Amino acid sequence: MKLSPSTISRRAILATAATTSLMASAACSRSTAGDSAGGKALQMFVNMGADTPQAAAMNKIVASYQQETGQAIQVTAVSTGFENQMKVRLASKDIPDLFSTHGWSLLRYSSFLERLTDRSWAADVNPQLDSSMRDANGDIYAFPGETNVAGVLYSQKALAAAGVDAAQLTSWEAFGTAADALLAAGITPISCSGKDQGPAGHIADHLAIDTFTDEQLQAMKDGTFQADAYDEVLTRVAQWRDGRWFNPDYASASQDDMAHALADGTAGFAFLGTSLLSQALTYAPAAALGFCPLPPTHGTEPYLVGGEGNLAFGVSKTSTQKEAALAFLDHLAKPENAAALAESTGSAPGLSSVQVDFGSLASSYEAYVTPGKVPVKPYFDRVYLPNGAWDTVVATTDSVISGQGSVEDAVTQMQRQYETLYGQQ
Amino acid sequence: MYVPALLLFGVFIVYPLVRGVGIAFTNWDGYTDNESFVGWANFRQLLTDSVFHTALRNTLVYGFGCTLLQQVIGLALAIALDGGGRAKSVARAVIYLPVLVSPVVMGMMYYFLVQYDRGALNDVVTGLGFDRVAWLSSSTGAVVIIVAVNTLQFVGTSMIIYLAGLQSIGTEINEAAEIDGARGWKLLRLVTIPLLKPAIVSSVIINLIGGLKLFDVIQVLTGGGPGYATQSVSTLIGRTYFGQQAAGYASAMGVALFVLIAAVSVVLIMRMERSGRTS
């Protein structure tokens, strides 16, 4: 037999290869840039999907700024793998002028960022962000486009079908009763994603901040891992797993599936930031979604979790266009732009003076956030775990939810990683 | 004349390799300038790290499992599709086409197939009146699916190699064997397969190295989960380097994987050569 060139059509090969490359690049990132009016374009590297409401808001602001000032800005939006790409760029000293700090402006990126404490808007940063965004001297290194708020996210349609009232979820016993009612009604009590690296970790993170006592939290800060408290966190997660409260497709579900489940009312609860609700609302704009505080574990009252979100941006201190980059950051901080950014993610604004239209999430914000009576605690990992421990939080919680590992093994692994990273600090 | 090639080889192969080995002896976090020499600590950690052991076991399953399946199916396809005819040409092209697709795209396609809620496979299952199946929720099931997807994608490579091998066997050899009474399985076992040894060596080494380095399909289908159940050493290196910010330890894993692949390749080549000489 002879393999003639016609055996495999060259055109078919080229067409397939070209289509594949295009699909792969389009799926990963997208850049937008305008013409520069004589100057070099600012490079901005952001952590957002190219077709998300956040990207739309950012592109609109960039376009108007460019029209107004003539300063070109090349925005590169990366939805997955942002963190990895950012670290590679930092290691290779190829640092963009502006970049998303996505929750890590202080712990991870502050040594690479320009200090922003003296900017006109800096004094107006929401005090709830202080623990995660200001250092011991009160310095800040990123402009917060949102104050990320997280609690128990819920689908009103699902809760109504099971006769559950979100306002009554003030204890874990009440939450358990609600979860069982949802299960009995054929609804998944808790939607989570094992495929995407993040959602599982958020559950442990949200629970840990109130499971650890003040003394234990201080000990964590001082370098002593509190295994008993972490065991308590994961034991609760294991109980939820044993109660079959998680979605049966947990292992293959993505964060997108979580949004669909809430939008469709096929799941009752989820534990993530409110950006998941914004994502769900893009699928079902009329869906009744909301959030409520987390029931206390060792604290005395329900609480929310909050801090720096994805929409936070810093300026590289080695940028050759530092002044232009700072000027654009100031532009982002203008009330109308700061409001547009926060609204795009369904979060509270990053600046106290900015007013935001929360849309269909307004009732939850008015009930729990605006009055300021519900305590907002910081994300556990960002304050009490060493930089780099988050991935292990995700992996160990994932192993417990999926039943691939025991609570004891997960705690041991977490402790080892904590001690390794703490020793490197 | 060789200088440009040597220069490129040095810059893109030798330097990264040497630098990678060097990083394996440090505690570098992968992005800052902080880096200290830690001796053999990272390599010692490999010996006691149960997650690395899981990933290593999976790597061997991916490597040898895919290689075995690809040889058996690839050879069967090559024999079945050897010869002329339009139908065979089309079949060969169709089987080879997945090789040209990015493993990421291949993984996405099969993810959509085995997804729980909107997966095509579960649509069939529920259409037949059964409950949906969480195909990727068990570690064994997920590993099997990853092996199957990788095999399906690269079986075309084996098929093409074996087709080329079959072409090199002259028709007179087969005719002579048939006159001597060798037909069917006997002809395959005693004549065809021994004469295909060079093709087998090439195919096994290419598939084995590909399987031992498997990354993209795992990343897209399971992300290494549930837990660490489907991690390969390659995916674990990525997660350790970037996620856990332990570039030194990740580099130690990389060195271990390099040694593993090199050792397996050398052993295979030596055995095949010895076997070739004796036959």
The predicted-structure confidence for A235-281, as pLDDT tens digits, reads as follows: 999 999 999 999 998 988 889 999 999 999 999 999 998 889 988 99
Inter-residue contact B81 to B88 (CB < 8 Å):
yes
On whether any CB of chain B is under 8 Å from the CB of A92, the answer is: no
pLDDT of A20 > 70? The answer is: no
Q: For A35-39, A140-144, B34-38, B146-150, which range has the lowest pLDDT when averaged over its residues?
A: A35-39
Angle, vertex CA B191, rays to CA B185 and CA B193, nearest 5: 80
Give the end-to-end CA distance of chain A in Å, rounded to a whole number: 65
Q: Do A87 and B242 touch (CB under 8 A)?
A: yes
Could you tell me which residues are beta bridge partners of residue A308? A147
Give the closest-approach CA distance of A334 to chain B in angstroms: 32
Inter-residue contact A113 to A141 (CB < 8 Å):
yes
CA–CA distance, B18 with B25 (Å, rounded to integer) = 11
Which residues in chain A have Cβ-Cβ distances shorter than 8 Å to B104? Answer: 24
The predicted-structure confidence for B17-61, as pLDDT tens digits, reads as follows: 999 999 999 999 899 988 899 999 999 999 999 889 999 999 999
Q: Given this model, what pLDDT does residue A39 score?
A: 66
pLDDT of A421 > 90? The answer is: no
Q: Mean pLDDT over residues A22-32, rounded?
A: 44
Which residues in chain B have Cβ-Cβ distances shorter than 8 Å to A402? Answer: 137, 225-227, 229
The predicted-structure confidence for A148-168, as pLDDT tens digits, reads as follows: 888 999 999 999 999 999 999
Q: Given this model, what pLDDT does residue A18 score?
A: 42
SS3 letters across chain B:
CCHHHHHHHHHHHHHHHHHHHHHCCECCCCCCCCCCECCCHHHHHHHHCHHHHHHHHHHHHHHHHHHHHHHHHHHHHHHHHCCCCHHHHHHHHHHHHHHHCCHHHHHHHHHHHHCCCCCHHHHHHHHCCCCCCCCCCCHHHHHHHHHHHHHHHHHHHHHHHHHHHHHHCCHHHHHHHHHCCCCHHHHHHHHHHHHCHHHHHHHHHHHHHHHHCCCHHHHHHCCCCCCCCCCCHHHHHHHHHHHCCCHHHHHHHHHHHHHHHHHHHHHHHHHHHHHHHHC
CA–CA distance, B214 with B234 (Å, rounded to integer) = 7
pLDDT of A214 > 90? The answer is: yes
Mapped onto helix, strand or coil, the DSSP state of residue A225 is coil
Q: Given this model, what pLDDT does residue B174 score?
A: 76
Q: Given this model, what pLDDT does residue A245 score?
A: 97
The pTM of this model reads 0.81
On whether any CB of chain B is under 8 Å from the CB of A80, the answer is: no
On whether any CB of chain B is under 8 Å from the CB of A282, the answer is: no
On whether any CB of chain B is under 8 Å from the CB of A87, the answer is: yes
Q: Given this model, what pLDDT does residue B275 score?
A: 66
The predicted-structure confidence for A308-357, as pLDDT tens digits, reads as follows: 888 999 999 999 999 999 999 999 999 999 999 999 888 889 999 999 88
Q: Do A399 and B227 touch (CB under 8 A)?
A: yes
pLDDT of A31 > 90? The answer is: no
CA-nearest residue to B240 within chain A is: A391
Give the closest-approach CA distance of B270 to chain A in angstroms: 30
Give the closest-approach CA distance of A133 to chain B in angstroms: 20
CA–CA distance, A308 with A145 (Å, rounded to integer) = 9
Rounded to 5 degrees, φ, ψ at A30 are -150, 140
CA-nearest residue to B224 within chain A is: A195
Biggest CA pair distance of chain B: 74
Complex ipTM, two decimals?
0.76
Q: Rg (Cα) of chain B, in Å, rounded?
A: 22
Which residues in chain B have Cβ-Cβ distances shorter than 8 Å to A394? Answer: 243
Scan residues 311-350 of A and list those with Cβ closer than 8 Å to B. none
Q: Do B163 and A421 touch (CB under 8 A)?
A: no
Q: How confident is the model at residue B278 (pLDDT cuts 50, 70, 90)?
A: low
CA-nearest residue to B219 within chain A is: A195
Give the closest-approach CA distance of A110 to chain B in angstroms: 11
Exposure of B32 by Cβ count < 10 A (0-12 exposed, 13-18 middle, 19+ buried)? middle
User: Which of A99-108, A239-248, A372-381, B257-266 is modeled with the greatest confidence?
Assistant: A239-248
CA–CA distance, B175 with B180 (Å, rounded to integer) = 9
pLDDT of B95 > 80? The answer is: yes
Chain A, chain B: beta-carbon pairs less than 8 Å apart: 141
CA-nearest residue to B87 within chain A is: A7
Average pLDDT, chain A: 88
Q: Given this model, what pLDDT does residue A32 score?
A: 52
CA–CA distance, B166 with B86 (Å, rounded to integer) = 19
The predicted-structure confidence for B180-238, as pLDDT tens digits, reads as follows: 777 788 888 888 888 888 899 889 989 998 999 899 999 888 888 888 889 999 999 99
Q: Do B226 and A257 touch (CB under 8 A)?
A: no
Q: A367 versus A359: which is more confidently predicted? A: A367
Q: Given this model, what pLDDT does residue B255 score?
A: 96
Which residues in chain B have Cβ-Cβ distances shorter than 8 Å to A111? Answer: 32
Inter-residue contact A150 to A382 (CB < 8 Å):
no
